[in-house]
């Protein structure tokens, strides 16, 4: 603990953001960085607790407290304060393969467990983490790490989201030959297709993919392992297969959508927006430009849909939340996330309506969506309805192709990642269910340790759970 009184002397200072009126005009990242002296002060606020709960990574009443990766948070906070960014990087990479992702999109359960936050404000752990890794990339301190020798074992990772990338990264550094198979045109999974560019720039994902490729990982896109012929070929050619296909099956809206155009799920809409605005493609899902948009649900996906609709130039946007407003109050106030700030700036009001649901759809004579009738009895104009109500589980077709047992998720033994099929493992949301990016990375790291042990009889890879 470099400065024992740091938490008394300095107040919490988050990374600043571009003003909402400016950032809604483009797709660029909206967070800015603190200067180095201010960042050092934020690092010095860390109390280096005797029991650092920020590293706990435990579940309590369905919520995560502390970092599932067991990040060495007090250590690299101390290094930030002392100006030793190189040592801070080495401690950060001990536990986290991709701090440039978690530093941007993780909801920071580590900060919820911070002792400093009991009677004051928690440490800016997420911002500090992002500062370390981005400073390292900028100063070319992130260097290629190839294993000194190869084991001769071949592993196929199906899916290139955070769990698949983490498993691939770990096993590659262990010396196994790793191939990542992805059904989409670009690797990255939800990091590429499920999170808008302003929250996670696609060049950041591309930078990591290119580094992993340089280190020896092979990426093959446009291959769908749900094809039984593809699955059987992978089982023949590889010594182990890890399924990391996510939990992308959306939860049904419970509405009669037959014969109605203009109704989509949040993941469909966000993916189409990425394809349109980042990759210059023409997806079937329409843009929100000039349309009245209604979004059902709360959480990150719903907020990302609001922010995306605003950038596409929607005529109006309303977010319908099932639960009452009182359930979301914090210290008697209703928090605003980045999308709600932007809606206020563009349309002059918070887009959320609480304790209301969609009861039925209104369509025109051509079957196009024209409006929605709410549980309050009013009709909202709507030409684009987006359901962001969560996910019902993993894809059954991939499970069937490999012959693995599954219900909502792939079945594995408690605390393990092996499936009922020899040499087939599962990790991430596909095994755990819908969760956080940081949990997916933790799953991928732990699955890699189990696969490594399966291949060579022992492992020195760290397990996170």
Are residues 180 and 106 part of one domain? no
> Angle at Cα 196 formed by Cα 409 and Cα 72, nearest 5°?
70
Q: What is the 3-state secondary structure (H, E, C) of 53-104?
A: HHHCCEEECCEEECCCCCCCHHHHHHHHHHCCHHHHHHHHHHHCCCHHHHHH
DSSP 255: S
- Band (171; pLDDT cuts 50, 70, 90): very high
Mean pLDDT of the region 371-375? 97
1 occurs within a structural domain: no
Give the CATH number for residue 26: 1.10.1060.10
Tell whether 165 and 230 lie within a shared domain.
Answer: yes
In this prediction, residue 15 carries a pLDDT of 96
And the tokens for 445?
Answer: 């790291």
Q: Is position 147 within any domain?
A: no
Mean pLDDT of 227-246: 98
Calculate what percentage of the chain has a pLDDT beyond 90: 91
Q: What is the mean pLDDT of residues 165-190?
A: 98
Flag whether pLDDT at 64 surpasses 90: no
In DSSP terms, 220 is beta-bridged to 181
Name the 3-class secondary structure at 295: strand
Q: What share of the chain has pLDDT > 70, as a percent?
A: 100
Phi first, then psi, for residue 462 (nearest 5°) are -80, 140
DSSP state of 345: H
Indicate whether 306 and 376 sit together in one domain.
Answer: yes
Model pLDDT, residue 160: 98
Phi-psi region of 287 (alpha: psi -120 to 50; beta: other; left: phi over 0): beta
Residue that the structure tokens 């370390």 belong to = 132
Q: Identify whether 257 is part of a domain.
A: no
Say yes or no: 12 and 134 in one domain. Answer: yes
| CB-based burial label for 28 (10 Å; 0-12, 13-18, 19+) | exposed
Average the pLDDT over 238-247 and give the result.
Answer: 97
pTM, entire model: 0.96
- In this predicted structure, the answer to whether residue 277 has a pLDDT above a threshold of 70 is yes
Nearest to 217 by CA among 263, 164, 261, 292: 164
User: What are φ and ψ of residue 391, in 5° steps?
Assistant: -130, 150
Q: Are residues 112 and 194 in the same domain?
A: no
Q: Which two tokens stand for residue 224?
A: 């769908």
111 in the same domain as 159: no
* Boundary (domain end) residue, out of 350, 373, 389: 389
Contact 81, 36 (CB under 8 A): no
* Per-residue confidence (pLDDT) for residue 394, from 0 to 100: 92
14 and 105 co-located in one domain: yes
Q: 389, 412, 431: which is the final residue of a domain? A: 389
CA dihedral 301, 306, 308, 310 (to 10 degrees): -170
* 85 occurs within a structural domain: yes
What residues form DSSP beta bridges with 156? Answer: 179, 241
Give residue-wise pLDDT tens across range 222-232: 999 999 999 99
Nearest Cα neighbor of 431 from 399, 401, 458, 460 is 399
Q: Is residue 364 part of a domain?
A: yes
* 447 and 326 share one domain: no
Question: What pLDDT, on the 0 to 100 scale, is given for residue 343?
Answer: 98
User: 421: which residues sit within 8 A by CB, 6+ positions away?
Assistant: 402, 403, 404
Q: d(Cα 338, Cα 333) in Å, to the nearest integer?
A: 16
Contact 260, 371 (CB under 8 A): no
Domain identity same for 397 and 408: yes
Exposed/middle/buried for residue 174 (C-beta within 10 Å: 0-12, 13-18, 19+): buried
Compute the half-sphere exposure of residue 385: CA atoms within 13 Å on the CB side of its CA. Answer: 29
d(CA 398, CA 404): 9
The pLDDT assigned to 2 comes to 65
Which residue(s) pair with 333 in the sheet? 330
In this structure, the answer to whether residues 217 and 332 fall within a common structural domain is no
Within a domain: 132: yes
**Statement to judge: residues 124 and 180 lie in one domain:** no
Count up the domains in the chain and report the number.
Answer: 3
Structural domain includes residue 254 = no
445 and 380 in a single domain? The answer is no
Which of 138, 163, 198 is a domain's end point? Answer: 138
Task: Name the residue range of residue 108's domain.
Answer: 6-138
**Sign of dihedral through CA atoms 328, 162, 93, 304?**
negative
Here the CATH number for the domain that contains residue 400 is 3.50.50.60
Cβ 422 vs Cβ 238: under 8 Å: no
Residue 143 is assigned to a structural domain of this protein: no
Q: Sign (positive/negative) of CA torsion 447, 70, 43, 10?
A: positive
Q: What is the rounded distance in angstroms from the CA atom of residue 423 to the CA atom of residue 234?
A: 11
How much is the pLDDT for 320? 98
Span 98-126, average pLDDT = 95
- The first and second tokens of residue 351, run together, are 């887009």
pLDDT band at 248 (very low <50, low <70, confident <90, very high): confident
């Amino acid at each position: 603990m470099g400065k024992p009184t740091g938490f008394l002397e300095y107040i919490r200072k988050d990374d600043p953001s571009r003003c909402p009126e400016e950032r809604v005009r483009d797709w660029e990242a909206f967070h800015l960085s603190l200067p180095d002296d201010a960042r050092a002060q934020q690092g010095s606020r860390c109390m280096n607790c005797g029991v650092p709960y920020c590293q706990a990574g435990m579940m309590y009443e369905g919520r995560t407290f502390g970092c599932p990766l067991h990040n060495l948070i007090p250590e690299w906070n101390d290094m930030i304060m002392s100006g030793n960014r190189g040592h801070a990087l080495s401690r950060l990479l001990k536990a986290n393969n991709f701090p440039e992702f978690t530093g941007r999109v993780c909801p920071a359960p580590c900060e919820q467990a911070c002792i400093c936050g009991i009677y004051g404000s928690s440490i800016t752990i997420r911002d500090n983490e992002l500062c370390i890794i981005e400073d390292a990339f900028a100063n070319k301190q992130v260097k290629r790490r190839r294993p000194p020798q190869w084991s001769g074992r071949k592993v196929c990772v199906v899916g290139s989201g955070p769990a698949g990338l983490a498993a691939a990264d770990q096993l590659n550094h262990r010396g196994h030959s790793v191939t990542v198979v992805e059904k989409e045109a670009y690797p990255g999974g939800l990091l590429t297709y499920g999170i808008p560019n302003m929250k996670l720039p696609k060049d950041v994902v591309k930078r990591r993919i290119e580094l992993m490729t340089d280190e020896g990982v092979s990426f093959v896109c446009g291959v769908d392992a749900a094809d039984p012929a593809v699955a059987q070929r992978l089982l023949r050619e590889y010594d182990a297969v890890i399924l990391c296909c996510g939990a992308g099956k959306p939860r049904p809206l419970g509405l009669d959508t037959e014969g109605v155009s203009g109704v989509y799920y949040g993941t469909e809409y966000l993916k189409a927006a990425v394809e349109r605005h980042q990759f210059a493609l023409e997806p079937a899902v329409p843009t929100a430009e000039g349309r009245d948009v209604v979004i059902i649900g709360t959480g990150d996906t719903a907020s990302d849909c609001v922010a995306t609709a605003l950038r596409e130039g929607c005529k109006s946007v309303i977010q319908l939340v099932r639960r009452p407003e009182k359930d979301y109050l914090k210290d008697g106030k209703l928090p605003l996330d980045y999308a709600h700030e932007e809606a206020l700036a563009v349309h002059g009001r918070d887009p959320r309506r609480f304790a209301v649901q969609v009861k039925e759809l209104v369509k025109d004579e051509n079957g196009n969506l024209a409006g929605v009738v709410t549980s309050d009895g009013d009709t909202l104009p709507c030409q684009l309805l987006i359901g962001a109500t969560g996910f019902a589980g993993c894809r059954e077709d991939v499970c069937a192709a490999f012959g693995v047992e599954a219900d909502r998720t792939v079945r594995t033994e408690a605390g393990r990642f092996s499936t009922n099929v020899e040499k087939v493992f599962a990790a991430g949301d596909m095994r755990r269910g819908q969760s956080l990016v940081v949990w997916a990375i933790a799953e991928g790291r732990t699955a890699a340790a189990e696969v490594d042990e399966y291949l060579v009889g022992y492992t020195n890879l760290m397990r996170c759970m």
